[in-house]
Chains A and B, each alone.
Chain A
């Protein structure tokens, strides 16, 4: 079997610079308050970027799709546009945009530099205030034009919501194909919108639960390649693989610490129970965090690294517990009616996402870190395994229906659910941090 591993990031450096056009003194600019309960999507007009042949329309299409999928924006159909933008740097005729209720307007251009790079710039206009809100330009090599579009979408999202975007990110997941009782599982990576899929393993061994390192260059996952299931590290660009630790039995459920220095995971005990260990990747020293005659698994660090949330059935059925990063103060936090598992700490630190089984259904929900304020965001026959977007406002998970699992995202309101297009069945999504 040929190597599936290829260099993923041909990209590079993007110089960011404000355009020459000065913005006017601040006035009451359009903005979205994403913390309000029910956000009405903001009508926005995204015009085709000028130049670059089909590339201009492609970029504006990607920007538009990103913003629309967030549920916070309602891009206006291009056929409603009155003004034809001839010069994306010139002040638009705001009246023409107000009349179609575009509260924000995006213009832009794209061109190929002499050195082969792509240069893209955008301007974001507040049509009712009649002024430019922001304008930036980006450079990328030819292979990364989609990334430029995602970066522009992030800039617009951030300017209008005050929150960091999450579009210039990737998802690592398990691609599944074949019959249910002999499913082939391959590690795969793609952009958050489902584009640019690449395979990271050949499907000969079962692979599960890939998770990103905070440095974005590495993943940790579990594989059956040695016969016994074990936790591995994989360098995404080089394809270099490495076994994590030298333990006698199965190791599973790995995640990185927020500083990327440790992998925390479950280790099977000889008595059939599982406990949680952390391994320092430099010193190779391991620390036992739990020592129970129970299943302790699915550990996930808080973003400051001081605490760990995990699943345990020590109380009879699986529930969620929190402990110090040294294993101290193990405390149950889930008390609802059902079985709780797969806790994942939000990158903002404020919430824990989980899977809950109750009344024959699987729910994806969030609770505060003390277990209060439980909210169910999605309910289905079979769904599990939430992962957080880096801004902590969106979750992705997998749902089994129509013969196999597919990826789904939902925002914290629970009202904006989106399916993520994948060629095959897909499970175990893990969201990367914002790329750099």
Chain B
């Protein structure tokens, strides 16, 4: 309840969404940018903070179409995540699994769940305690990139590692 609202009120998340929108849909006009929101660039975050995790480690990985296989680039990101999470053990973690819109709603809920589980299993294999990890699927209900082409779909097929366990 109120989970989405809580997340979107989080300035870090808003900044990230805006950055991704710019990266993913360069041809589309987006109303917000990090500058509009008055946020400074990467690197300034306090080590161990949620912002540090999001900006310097990378809180999300991407998937191929209709796949929950952890790609090589995603393995690199998740290995960094695992190292960071093992260093800062105060955080509970929720992994959100998402799908692009090119699938039907119920199937994509299942696909998002499978992606979240694959991400969780990878982190557990890298030593993150399973007790700290929860998963949730949003299917295709929460896209970050909103254009109708492949540049956005590839941004939306994602698993996002969120800190603090909001909603749990």
Asked if A pairs with B, the answer is yes
Question: Interface of A with B (CB < 8 Å)?
Answer: 179-183, 185, 204-206, 208-209, 222, 224-229, 249-250, 252-253, 266, 268, 270-274, 295, 297-298, 311, 313, 317-318, 339, 341-342, 355, 357, 381-382, 384-385, 400, 427-428
Q: In angstroms, how far is the closest chain A Cβ from the Cβ of B55? A: 20
Report how far A180 CA is from B146 CA in the complex, Å.
6
**Cross-interface CB contact of B111 among A253, A295, A385, cutoff 8 Å:** A295
- Known contacts A224-B3, A271-B117, A317-B66; A181/B146 CB under 8 A: yes
Judged by a CB distance under 8 angstroms, whether B23 is at the interface is no
Which of B105, B111, B116, B137 lies in contact with A428, CB distance below 8 A? B105
Task: Provide the bound-state CA to CA distance between A313 and B102, in Å.
Answer: 16
Query: In the assembly, what is the distance between CA of A385 and CA of B104, in Å?
Result: 7
21 contacts across the A-B interface (CB closer than 8 A): A181-B142, A183-B141, A204-B1, A208-B109, A209-B106, A224-B4, A227-B1, A227-B168, A272-B113, A272-B114, A272-B115, A272-B117, A273-B110, A295-B107, A298-B106, A298-B107, A313-B107, A341-B107, A342-B107, A357-B103, A382-B148
* Interface contact A208-B105, CB-CB below 8 Å: yes
Contacts of B121 in A (CB 8 A): 272
Starting from the known contacts A205-B1, A272-B115, A295-B114, 12 additional A-B residue pairs (CB-CB under 8 Å) come to A204-B2, A208-B105, A209-B105, A224-B1, A227-B1, A266-B106, A268-B137, A272-B118, A298-B104, A311-B107, A382-B148, A427-B105
A-B pair count, CB < 8 Å, reads: 112
Chain B 88-118 interface 0/1 with A at a Cβ cutoff of 8 Å (1 = within): 0000000000000111111101110111111
Q: Tell me if B34 counts as interface (CB < 8 A to partner A).
A: no
Complex interface: chain B residues within 8 A of A185 (CB): 141
Q: Does B75 contact A (CB under 8 A)?
A: no
Among A209, A227, A342, max chain B CB count under 10 A is at: A227
User: In the bound complex, what is the Cα–Cα distance between A427 and B108 (angstroms)?
Assistant: 15
Residues on B with C-beta less than 8 A from A209 are: 105-106
Bound-state Cα–Cα, A67 to B146, Å = 39
Checking B4, B8, B103, B109 against A253 with a beta-carbon cut-off of 8 angstroms, the contacting residue is: B109
Nearest Cβ in chain A — how far from B153, in angstroms?
A: 11
Collect the chain B residues with CB atoms within 8 Å of residue A313's CB: 107
Question: Do A226 and B141 touch (CB < 8 A)?
Answer: no
What's the Cα separation between A205 and B1 when bound, in Å? 6
Asked if B109 and A182 sit within 8 Å, CB to CB, the answer is no
Q: How large is the interface on B (under 10, 10 to 19, 20 to 34, 35 or more residues)?
A: 35 or more
Chain B residues near A317: list those with CB within 8 A.
Answer: 66
Partner of A226, one of B1, B102, B116: B1
Find B106's partner among A226, A249, A342, A427 (CB 8 Å cutoff).
A342
Contact for B114 among A226, A228, A273, A339, CB less than 8 A: A273
A382 to B102: give the CA distance in the assembly, Å: 8
Report the nearest B residue to A318, measured CB to CB. Answer: B107
CB neighbours (8 Å) of B106 from chain A are 209, 252-253, 266, 297-298, 311, 341-342
CA distance A315 to B29 in the complex (A): 41
Q: Does B19 contact A (CB under 8 A)?
A: no
Residue contact A229 to B136, C-beta cutoff 8 Å = yes
Q: How far is the CA of A272 from the CA of B138 in the complex (A)?
A: 14
- B68 interface residue, CB < 8 Å from A? yes
Residue of A nearest to B94 (CB): A227
Check B105 against A385 for contact (C-beta < 8 Å).
yes
CA distance A253 to B111 in the complex (A): 13
How far apart are the CA atoms of A297 and B4 in the complex, in Å? 25
Q: Which residue of B lies closest to A400 (CB)?
A: B101
Q: Which residues of B contact A385 (CB under 8 A)?
A: 104-105
Q: Which one of A272, A313, A342 has the greatest number of beta carbons of chain B within 10 Å?
A: A272
**Once the chains bind, are A266 and B110 in contact (CB under 8 Å)?**
yes
With A341-B106, A341-B107, A400-B101 already in contact, the answer to whether A228 and B4 are too (CB < 8 A) is no
- Per-residue A-contact encoding for B134-146, CB less than 8 Å = 1, 0 else: 0011110111111
Q: Is the CB of A179 within 8 A of B146?
A: yes
How near does chain B come to A273, taking the closest CB pair, in angstroms? 7
Are A297 and B110 in contact, with the CB atoms below 8 A?
Answer: yes
Contacts of B17 in A (CB 8 A): 181
Q: Which residues of B contact A181 (CB under 8 A)?
A: 17, 142-146
Report how far A194 CA is from B115 CA in the complex, Å. Answer: 38
Residue of A nearest to B1 (CB): A225
- CB-CB contacts below 8 Å: B1-31 with A: 1-5, 8, 17
Asked if B167 is at the interface of the complex by the 8 Å CB criterion, the answer is yes
C-alpha gap A281/B102 in the complex (Å)? 34
**Which one of B68, B105, B111, B114 has the highest number of Cβ atoms from chain A below 10 Å of its Cβ?**
B105
Q: What distance in Å separates the Cβ of A269 from its nearest Cβ neighbour in chain B?
A: 9
B1 and A272 form a contact (CB under 8 A): no
Measured CB to CB, the nearest residue on chain B to A265 is: B106
* Cα A106 to Cα B17 with chains together (Å): 59
Question: Which residues of chain B come closer than 8 Å to A180, judged between CB atoms?
Answer: 143, 146
**Nearest A residue (CB) for B106:** A253
List B contacts of A339 (CB < 8 A): 66, 103
- Taking the nearest CB of chain B, how far is it from the CB of A238, in angstroms? 22
Chain A residues contacting B146 (CB-CB under 8 Å) are 179-181
Report Cα–Cα, A224/B68, bound state, in Å. Answer: 23
Nearest chain B CB to A287's CB is how many angstroms away?
20
Question: Within the assembled complex, what's the spacing in Å between the Cα atoms of A274 and B113?
Answer: 9
Which residues of A have CB within 8 Å of B105?
208-209, 342, 384-385, 427-428
